[in-house]
Amino acid sequence: MMNVSLPPRRLAVAPMLDWTDRHYRYMARQISRHTWLYTEMIHAGAIIHGDAERFLLKDDCEHPVALQLGGSEPADLARAARQVAAYGYDEINLNCGCPSPRVQKGAFGACLMNEVALVADCLNAMQDAAPDCAVTIKHRIGIDRQTDYQVLADFVGTLREKTACRTFIVHARNAWLEGLSPKENREIPPLKYDYVYRLKQAFPELEIIINGGITTNQQIAEHLQSVDGVMVGRECYHNPMVMRDWDRLFYGDSHAPIEYVDLVQRLQDYASAQLAAGRGTVLRHMVRHYLGLMHGLQGARVWRRMLSDATLLQNNQPHLIQQAWSAIQSIV
């Protein structure tokens, strides 16, 4: 099960499709030592039948790091989980929260909340295949217009009884499977944080982590009075330095937060190493995740413009990162 030396899941960066790849996670780890990082969702079939290394490759510095799997076939999830564990991930998370149409058609994601027995089979198959890895679940508070708290409590209670899963990451919105895009599903269904708080009260022995619409340290601190952990999504991508004080504020770490100049140097060194390693990596694959780093600083627009300029990027020169930082300094 979970390595006892790992920090608690007090803070986590949500799995975000096309965003939380290994290059983003490397950057995030430089900003926070203790925050849990999650991969973007990876379908079990992609690991089994595709280029597994492409999906599973990570940097040793990323720990604690979890991989999120999508799927609904216990045998496939078990095969994928076995490979994930072999790559040294600290946790494997089952996606039962994504409302994307491409997820519905494959009968996984949020629609699995209607099939709790199948979810239990999936979690048990994953845990049996990866006995030394924590197996967790991320889900919504309900599906479509269903608003009864008891349905959510029954879902969690059944999984508590039938599986070894003890960590539940709860997006405090319903998933509307019809009529809303994935983006709208992250914004339109109303947030019901009290449902997640009630889960913690009903199941005090479970680790309950809240997710959805959380953007500030004050909000995080307030949620932590009622639940075990907080998972932040889009804010960590568009404004990564929101994580800069998390170790001090929420983990009691006395290390000084990283300075911008040091972070820029680490990212340039990382880019140089990745380009030298090959694997088809180009500079754009990395710096697209850095655009929000200077959020709120004078000169942030110059940073974004330089790191998204196709002409400047075409030569794959990692010193472009340092040049963009120097351009900010000349403005300040």
CA angle, corner 89, sides to 217 and 126, nearest 5?
110
What the chain holds in terms of domains, given with CATH numbers, is 11-251 (3.20.20.70), 260-331 (1.20.120)
According to the model, what pLDDT value does residue 55 have?
Answer: 94
Tokens of 24: 């983003």
Main-chain phi, psi angles of 173, to 5 degrees: -130, 155
Radius of gyration of the chain (CA): 20
Note if the bond before 7 is cis, omega within 30 degrees: no
Amino acid found at 298: Q
Give the span between the Cα atoms of 213 and 188, in whole angstroms: 11
According to the model, what pLDDT value does residue 1 have?
Answer: 41
Give the span between the Cα atoms of 114 and 133, in whole angstroms: 26
Cβ atoms of residues 142 and 152 within 8 Å? yes
According to the model, what pLDDT value does residue 181 have?
Answer: 75
Give the span between the Cα atoms of 237 and 293, in whole angstroms: 9
Amino acid found at 57: L
Give the span between the Cα atoms of 116 and 122, in whole angstroms: 10
According to the model, what pLDDT value does residue 69 have?
Answer: 97
Active-site residues, by number, are 98
Give the span between the Cα atoms of 72 and 125, in whole angstroms: 11
Tokens of 81: 């989980």
Please give the average pLDDT of every successive group of 10 residues along the chain, which has 332 residues: 72 96 98 98 95 93 97 96 98 89 63 93 98 97 90 97 98 84 76 97 98 97 98 98 98 95 98 91 96 95 96 95 95 71
According to the model, what pLDDT value does residue 277 have?
Answer: 92
Tokens of 233: 């999504």
Which runs of consecutive H residues, i.e. helices, occur in the chain?
Answer: 22-31, 44-49, 52-56, 74-86, 101-105, 116-129, 149-162, 182-185, 193-202, 217-223, 234-238, 246-251, 260-277, 283-287, 300-307, 310-313, 319-331
